[in-house]
Amino acid sequence: MTTIVAVRKGNQIAIAADSQTTFGDDQKLLAPYDCFHDKIFQHGDSYLAVSGSAAHDLVLKRALADLKKKDLSSRQGIFETFRKLHPKLKDAFYLRPEEDEEDPYESSQMMVVIANRHGIFGVYPMREIYEFSRVWAIGSGRKFAMGAMYAVYDQDLTAKEIAEIGVRAGCEFDVSSSLPMTVYTVELAAAAAKEA
């Protein structure tokens, strides 16, 4: 329950998130009461944000730190990294990978957005990896954020400004998202910027 967005425009990538934590259907923890309300964390030259259980944040930070070889710079590299992480999530962190009996693979139970100088990537529960060329959002406020960012993307705005608009829309209409937000930006690598 959150609003997490990432935007790629020009030679800049921005990742932004709201700061509310929600417990069940009837209790929220707002930023002034939460010492660790920033939902985005840095690992090397990448920024990551996770949608799903609040436990995923600490687990993913630790699991990535413990993994000797990792690559968050490409779709294939991220796939291999999360493939290697999955058994560790189960064995060391007690992940329960069951979702639907008909699922073709075990679930990691989390959605992750990665923003770095190589692009914007999304990791989904069965290790589906996507690379996004303009905007993306995850969490319960994602539909509001996507609509708002789509509406302003072609205006004379930076990636950071568009990301902020997306999170503000999520916080305005989603009961599980609240301001303040956190925003981080990175400059695209020269090769990635040429592809844009």
Q: What is the DSSP string of 9-66?
A: ETTEEEEEE---EEETTTEEE-GGG-TT---EEEETTEEEEEES-THHHHHHHHHHHH
Rounded-to-integer distance, Cα 140 and Cα 62, Å: 25
Is there a contact between 184 and 40 (Cβ–Cβ < 8 Å)?
Answer: yes
Which residues have CB under 8 Å from 179's CB, separation 6+? 18, 19, 31, 167, 168, 171
Q: Which pTM value belongs to this model?
A: 0.93
What is the phi/psi pair of residue 117, to 5°? -70, -5
State the first-to-last Cα distance of the chain, in angstroms, to the nearest integer.
31
**Domain residue ranges of the chain, discontinuous segments joined by +:** 3-187
pLDDT at 194: 59
Structure tokens at 56: 């995923």
Structure tokens at 59: 């687990």
Closest by CA to 49, choosing from 127, 96, 97, 110, is 110
Query: For residue 71, what are the CA distances in angstroms to 59, 92, 123, 184?
Result: 18, 21, 13, 20
Question: What 3-state class would DSSP assign to 156?
Answer: coil
Class of domain 3-187: alpha beta
Rounded-to-integer distance, Cα 4 and Cα 18, Å: 7
- Mind listing the pLDDT tens digit of every residue in the chain (196 residues)? 899 999 999 999 999 999 999 988 889 999 999 999 999 999 999 999 999 888 898 999 999 999 999 999 999 999 999 999 998 999 988 888 887 778 888 888 899 999 999 999 999 998 999 999 999 999 999 999 999 999 999 999 999 999 999 999 999 999 999 999 999 999 998 766 656 5
pLDDT at 10: 96
Rounded-to-integer distance, Cα 70 and Cα 61, Å: 13
